[in-house]
Amino acid sequence: MKSKIIAGILGLSGLAVAFTYAAPGQTRTVASGVYTSAQADKGAQTIEDYGCRNCHGPQLEGGLDEQPQLIGDEFVNTWNGRKLDELAEKITTMPADADEAYHVKPAAAVDVVAYLLRSNGFPAGAAELPADPKALKLIQMVTP
């Protein structure tokens, strides 16, 4: 009897885990916690290192010369429904006024994505956001 109860509990636990994590190749959203706090901290440092606030404003609220908002409704609505591989790729073209050799590298771009997600109110999770574009293509931005 005891073994049946234990087996039942383990079975239910397995179902809970299955519903918490997306299956490989299945799209999930940023609302499910797709980055870690430590990764977002690295992204904050990258934002400072690359001078993103010089163009996008002190609070990343948008620049004077039509540089887009990186924090707030405009940012979330612009990226709503799009996949994170697009956002990470866009970040690798920044700063726009610098030669390509000085642009944000792909590994740092995902850290910036993590920082932007945190800054826009999306929850952290247990695993870092992957740098692999194929994996990022399976994660969708949603409005909160």
Give the pLDDT band of residue 127 (cuts 50, 70, 90). very high
* Mean pLDDT to the nearest integer, 12-25: 44
Q: What is the separation, in whole angstroms, between the first and last Cα of the chain?
A: 45
Indicate if the pLDDT at residue 22 is higher than 50.
Answer: no
* Mean pLDDT to the nearest integer, 23-38: 89
Give a yes or no: residue 2 inside a domain. Answer: no
User: Which of 17-21, 36-40, 44-48, 127-131 is the least confident region?
Assistant: 17-21
Give a yes or no: residue 54 inside a domain. Answer: yes
Give a yes or no: residue 102 inside a domain. Answer: yes
Q: State the pLDDT at residue 17.
A: 36
Give a yes or no: residue 44 inside a domain. Answer: yes
Q: State the pLDDT at residue 132.
A: 97
Give a yes or no: residue 103 inside a domain. Answer: yes
Write the DSSP symbol of residue 131: S
- Structural domain total, the chain: 1
CATH assignment of the domain containing 81: 1.10.760
Cβ contacts of 132 within 8 Å, gap of 6 or more? none
Indicate if the pLDDT at residue 42 is higher than 70.
Answer: yes
Give a yes or no: residue 17 inside a domain. Answer: no
Can you give the residue range of the structural domain that contains 132?
24-140
- CB of 82 within 8 A of CB of 40? no
pLDDT single digits (tens) 86-115: 999 999 999 999 999 999 999 999 999 999
Give a yes or no: residue 9 inside a domain. Answer: no
Q: State the pLDDT at residue 15.
A: 36
- CB of 112 within 8 A of CB of 71? no
Give a yes or no: residue 8 inside a domain. Answer: no
